[in-house]
Structure 1
Amino acid sequence: MKFIDEAKIYIKAGDGGNGIATFRREKYIPMGGPNGGDGGRGGSIYVIADRNINTLVDYRYTRKFLGQRGENGGSADCYGKGGDDIVLRMPVGTVITDAITEQVIADLDQHDKKVLIAKGGKGGLGNTHFKSSTNRAPRQCTKGEPGEEFELRLELRVIADVGLLGMPNAGKSTLIRAISAARPKVADYPFTTLHPNLGVVRVDNEKSFVVADVPGLIEGAADGAGLGIRFLKHLQRTRILLHLVDIAPLDPGADPVYDARAIVGELEKHDPDLAAKPRWLVLNKLDLIDESERQEAIDNFLSAYRAETSYEGPVFTIAAIKGEGTRPLIFAIQEQLEKMAAENPRPTASDLSSDEADEGENPDAPQEDESEDNPEEH
């Protein structure tokens, strides 16, 4: 099943049924009076967050949802039956926006969160409501009100605690494979990752956090280069960003400092709030540098990078393909997440994930053959 994170739909709640104007007609009961019943209300449309759904693919192909109309009123004071409500189940993290006004209608950031999106129309009034001492045979009745209707834009922003940033082939997918049960495709060509992947990192039996791996960025991504920046929305709910840098590029003309600075520039251009999130520097592929030269390479990179960006945050050095340096990294992340949760409590992504989440990846994402993985990718 394809990973779909955007969709556009049209919804219309049911119209209310019409009221009716009737009169009681029975033998030996003259002037029985009005007995027209009210129309039933139209069916409303609700949305509910479901952690067992991982994609908006259902709304890519079915785009129109119409609520049931209420029944008309009947004689003998019979009220019309109300229309059945519609409940649309969507992934946790879905943001629902009015496509016309651009106003956010709902943010499904918690499992089982239920929101009324379109209210059904009220039923019309029967003529019993219009009788009085001076109007004993009213013939007035009202029609049902129309249900609300909207054109909606659905946008899925995955729930994760930590997001991975970096150039294509910086080793993001390799890192998420090393620290979780997720198995995204890994290969030796750019843009191997075409959709976000989630992995649950188990620090111990009682502690875990969720990592999101998104397709790599390149310079000019904010202007549409490469895969663009459409997947950056999946990092907007994270608490920490890990900026992975290939410190030992195979291309002799590549400059890790320039590439790292380009990522920061694209973030700032796309969303200043996202760029302002805590961002940790992770230098990857240390195993490709001779041990006697590693510290010099690290020092040279940090000296040049800090001079250009004034970066003063944490720095970690790893070899993701071998798992070297990953344990100190995940322990530091867990410690920071606990500290941030104490200062600003909110449900963590691991709290929102299902019991099967420690399987590691999006079950609706396309599965890749393990034989295609390149053992030389870092």
Structure 2
Amino acid sequence: MSQGSNFVDYVKICCRSGHGGAGSSHLHRDILTSKGGPDGGDGGRGGHVIVKGNAQLWTLLHLKFRKHVIAGDGDSGGSSLRSGKTGRDEILEVPLGTIAKNAETGEVLFEISTDGETKILAKGGRGGQGNWHFKTATQQTPRYSQPGEEGEEDWNILELKLLADVGLVGFPNAGKSTLLSVVSAAKPEIADYAFTTLVPNLGIVAYRNNKSFVMADIPGIIEGASQGKGLGIRFLRHIERNSVLLFMVPADTNRTIKEEYNILLKELNEYNPELMHKPRVLAITKADMLDQELQQEMEKEVPADIPYVFISSVAQKNIVELKDLLWKEINK
């Protein structure tokens, strides 16, 4: 389920809702009535621009090339108290976890988190009232009605945050893509150089008794990512939604395990201190190159407060143990 370059997690669109239709100022006339009272109907409401959650969607790709979304205008009211037709609503279907913001102020308008949930992004203008609303005892035949309200027009941003159970955190080269390709059906591009993963990869990890959980490989954060260096900041936001963070430190790191872990932790803390409250698991990767003695030496360097496991994705070493550990943390 690798998204490749089709993984679109950010779109900016101009949304225009419909104008309301004008009310009618018609006076009733027929063969028997030459001077009847007001019977002008109300104008129809303008169409809304609506955002709707769809659990079958994973990306915002289908909206990438829609720069303008324009809902229909309401029709004017007619005679005999006939109301105008409501304008056509424009419905934008989005994956769960999509956040809508105002593009200028950056204000978060709402978040879509359940299938079928709908929220109005741009509200259609109200239709004007027909002249019969304005009839009084002293004014029997008002010859005026309300115009319809204008619709709204604004640039909005739709942004997707991944909903995953486990987020992989580690420097480029820590073996995150390799692990994902081994434990799930995802096919991330894998190579031994920094920043192979330029888009988040989602993988569904099969667990015992037909259970499963979702793992997201978030592009490697580098020192300084929280300041917006490299690709960091754009991807760090994907980690906000994960329920468990899996820290990955390669056994061949030139720092100690504790040093590397602390740097990753510092990056997360600078980006968003709330992430520090999420449960964490540590995997020391590329452990197939360690003999028993070396592994015991390295275990002394592991931080005290975190469950850990030495793994090798290539040699399938301790992968089942890792899944057990993650499952336990997810369901705590």
Residue type matched to 1:324 in 2?
Answer: K
Residue by residue over 1:248-281, the C-alpha shift from the partner in whole angstroms, topping out at 9 and shown as x without a partner, is 24xxx55554333221111111111113311211
Which residue of structure 1 aligns with residue 244 of structure 2?
Answer: 240
8 A Cα contact 1:24 1:35, kept in partner: yes
Which residue of structure 2 aligns with residue 338 of structure 1?
Answer: 331
Which residue of structure 2 aligns with residue 14 of structure 1?
Answer: 18
Aligned partner of residue 229 in structure 1, secondary structure: helix
8 A Cα contact 1:218 1:262, kept in partner: no
What's the CA shift for 1:229?
2.2
What's the CA shift for 1:225?
3.0
Which residue of structure 2 aligns with residue 314 of structure 1?
Answer: 307
Structure 1: runs of 5 or more not aligned: 340-378
Matches within 5 A, 1:150-189: 150-189=154-193
Q: Work out the CA distance in 1 between the residues paired with 2:87 and 2:173.
A: 54
Matches within 5 A, 1:125-274: 125-249=129-253, 256-274=257-275
8 A Cα contact 1:208 1:334, kept in partner: no
Which residue of structure 2 aligns with residue 366 of structure 1?
Answer: none
The yes-or-no answer on 1:68 pairing with 2:72 is yes
8 A Cα contact 1:239 1:278, kept in partner: yes
Aligned partner of residue 312 in structure 1, secondary structure: coil
Aligned counterpart in structure 2 of residue 85 of structure 1, from 77, 85, 89: 89
TM-score normalised to structure 2 length? 0.93
- CA 1:259–1:335 in 2, change beyond 3 Å: closer, same or farther? closer
Which residue of structure 2 aligns with residue 42 of structure 1?
Answer: 46
Q: Work out the CA distance in 2 between the residues paired with 1:71 and 1:52.
A: 35
- CA 1:156–1:45 in 2, change beyond 3 Å: closer, same or farther? same
Which residue of structure 2 aligns with residue 284 of structure 1?
Answer: 285
Percent of residue pairs bearing the same amino acid type: 41
TM-score normalised to structure 1 length? 0.82
Q: Work out the CA distance in 2 between the residues paired with 1:96 and 1:28.
A: 57
Structure 2: runs of 5 or more not aligned: none
Greater shift after overlay, 201-210 or 212-221? 201-210
8 A Cα contact 1:248 1:289, kept in partner: no
Q: Work out the CA distance in 2 between the residues paired with 1:117 and 1:49.
A: 13
Over aligned residues, Cα RMSD in angstroms?
1.8
Q: Work out the CA distance in 2 between the residues paired with 1:274 and 1:27.
A: 76
Residue by residue over 1:123-174, the C-alpha shift from the partner in whole angstroms, topping out at 9 and shown as x without a partner, is 1111111223321221121101122333222111011011000011101111
Q: Work out the CA distance in 1 between the residues paired with 2:57 and 2:109.
A: 20
What's the CA shift for 1:7?
1.7
The count of residues paired between Structure 1 and Structure 2 equals 328
Residue by residue over 1:269-306, the C-alpha shift from the partner in whole angstroms, topping out at 9 and shown as x without a partner, is 1111113311211111111123442222332x32xxx3
Q: Work out the CA distance in 2 between the residues paired with 1:170 and 1:269.
A: 21
